[in-house]
Amino acid sequence: MSATTALGALAPKLQLIVPEMLLFLGAVVVAVRGLSRRRMARSSLPAITCIALLASAATTLFAWTPSAASQAGLLFPMLGQFIKPAVAVLAAVLVLLSVGSVDRLVEDAVARGRRAFDAQRVVRGEFYAFLLFSVMGVMLLCNATDLIWLFLAIELVSLPTYIMVAVGGHGTRPQEAAIKYFFLGALSTAVFLYGFALIYGATGTLELTAIRDAFALQQVSGGISTLGMIGLVMAVLGLCFKITAVPMHFYAPDVYEGAPTHVAAFLAFIPKAAGFLALALVLTCVGWTGHSFLDADGVRVSYSGLPTPIAATLWMVAAITMTLGNVGGLVQGSVKRTLAYSSIAHSGYMVIGLVAGPPAGLAALFFYLVAYGVMTTASFAALCALERKGEELNGFGDIAGMRVKHPVMAWMLAMSQASLVGLPPLIGFVAKVYLFIAAFEAGQVGLVVIAVLNSAVSALYYLRIAILPLVAPSSARSDEVTLVPSAWPRVAAVVCGVGTLVMSIFAGPIIGLVRSATAEGPPQSASAQRSLEP
């Protein structure tokens, strides 16, 4: 292959990662600027991070073209045009939650002259650099064409979050949470990476499109090999850690409670988005009922459904995850632990979209994912906006009667919880309707019934968090609650709280964009069987 031909083949892929290049540049800038002796320079890091994220989102709209995406050989050519801007914008809002929190004690001591500035003691630059790297990993998943890229992108999402948990706050609790998170994360990585190795052994290729062709031929000739099936199941179970789903969910309550609140908000959305993206790509290599693609000869190949072991695994993961998440949320005495179990339960709901499959199931899944990001960010932002004696809010007594002194935050917290439970006309209700309709059309009536019952159970703890600030009398603890010095967490709470209502108004156009984003990929590189219908 000539150099000109090689560059021509590489050009579309380079064009598609221009948004990630901007994030990398932003990460370098904040990492270096965070070592400056000037307090104003260090204080500008959140603004620079937001600018990098928003610039990346805007660039995606121009860089991610249908021609470049098709030439890159992606399974979902237009998925990045929706996911990348959505993730980048939500990440910019999540940055607002952290303003004034990272290095707060150190910066106060330096400002008062009680401690000399020491570049080794400040971590704000590294924190925002790692945040950008993690978001970059989610965005790179949209460009994945092989298992190696997929693995590296997932790890780029995860590894920075271990550091963010440890350095995002002060005290020993974040460090303890980071240790638990790291070791359990390493276990999950080993599981899904071994699954990837078995998939390679069963197909002889690392390319996702070639894997899809190989599995298609295996299904025709008697079914996917045992080696490939074990690899797929292990890959799915390992990726469950990223989405906080059973059986890899048990770290979430301890890590969410121990991590700084703004970092817990980040964990609730960014790794989850990465996990569902990765699962969608892996499962597309096997195929859902009604799912089809064009082979190299231009002939449409259609699947009769996910293999029984994969379908059964996803069904059980969805049912058990939403049930354990909601039952666990009922018995918690901590707001952050309750929100952790909420995160688990919503992962169970979203797995239903994977079971239903394209086009409606995947579209509903990614719509629900973005809606969940807005809802849960509003909840954590309201908590980040308040403190008690310099410490984060966590107990239910801290939020009781919040309406007396902090009515706006009380209403934003209540709106977010009402949306999470699925009350109309908020976005949580619309997202669940789309998801349940997609599952019903796919014949997953049992999962829909389980999800509806779980939604009713979840109302008990969601409404507790919503009603306490608005109805309960204030207590001695809640009287000591004050606003944090920075106004940006309050801005984020209002933006996301109001967003739970505004998004429902524009749900139709948004779901239309998601449907276009989850359209089928280009013709395959190898010949496949004409039809996989039985």
7-22 pLDDT tens trace: 455 677 888 899 999 9
Nearest to 375 by CA among 349, 405, 356, 401: 349
Dist CA 119 CA 103 (whole Å): 12
Which of 76-80, 261-265, 300-304, 473-477 is modeled with the greatest confidence? Answer: 261-265
Dist CA 388 CA 81 (whole Å): 42
24: exposed, middle or buried (Cβ count in 10 Å: 0-12, 13-18, 19+) = middle
Q: What is the pTM of this model?
A: 0.93
Residue 303 has pLDDT above 60, yes or no: yes
**CB-based contacts of 182, cutoff 8 Å, min separation 6:** 162
**CB-based contacts of 43, cutoff 8 Å, min separation 6:** none
Share of the chain above pLDDT 70, in %: 92
Q: Does residue 342 form part of some domain?
A: yes
Dist CA 237 CA 153 (whole Å): 18
Dist CA 165 CA 267 (whole Å): 9
Average pLDDT (217-237) is 88
Q: Does residue 524 form part of some domain?
A: no
pLDDT of residue 305: 75
Q: pLDDT-derived band of residue 520, with 50, 70 and 90 as boundaries?
A: low
Q: Six-digit token pair at 189? A: 């990585």
Average pLDDT (396-404) is 88
Describe the crossing of helices 147-167 and 208-220 by its angle, rounded to 10 degrees.
120
pLDDT of residue 120: 74
Residue 318 has pLDDT above 90, yes or no: yes
Q: State which residues form the domain around 237.
A: 3-517
Which of 218-227, 333-342, 471-480 is modeled with the greatest confidence? Answer: 333-342
Look-up of token digits 């949580």:
428
Neighbouring-strand partners of residue 483: 386
Is 383:257 a contact under the CB 8 Å cutoff?
no
Dist CA 329 CA 321 (whole Å): 12
3-state secondary structure of 360: helix
Residue 173 has pLDDT above 90, yes or no: no
Residue 298 has pLDDT above 70, yes or no: no
pLDDT of residue 7: 44
Average pLDDT (521-526) is 43
3-state secondary structure of 191: helix
Dist CA 400 CA 376 (whole Å): 19
Is 281:311 a contact under the CB 8 Å cutoff?
no
Q: Does residue 528 form part of some domain?
A: no
Q: Does residue 261 form part of some domain?
A: yes
Q: Does residue 525 form part of some domain?
A: no
469: exposed, middle or buried (Cβ count in 10 Å: 0-12, 13-18, 19+) = buried
Q: Does residue 533 form part of some domain?
A: no
User: What's the total number of domains in the chain?
Assistant: 1
Share of the chain above pLDDT 90, in %: 60
Dist CA 380 CA 343 (whole Å): 12
Q: Does residue 496 form part of some domain?
A: yes
- Distances from the Cα of 202 to the Cαs of 17, 205, 225, 314, 365, in angstroms? 30, 8, 7, 21, 29
Angle at 346 between CA 158 and CA 352, to 5 degrees: 100
Q: Six-digit token pair at 228? A: 């490939």
Look-up of token digits 């025709």:
220
Q: Does residue 177 form part of some domain?
A: yes
* Mean pLDDT estimate for the chain: 88
pLDDT of residue 290: 61
Amino acid at 273: A
For 221, other C-beta atoms within 10 Å of its C-beta total 10
pLDDT of residue 73: 81
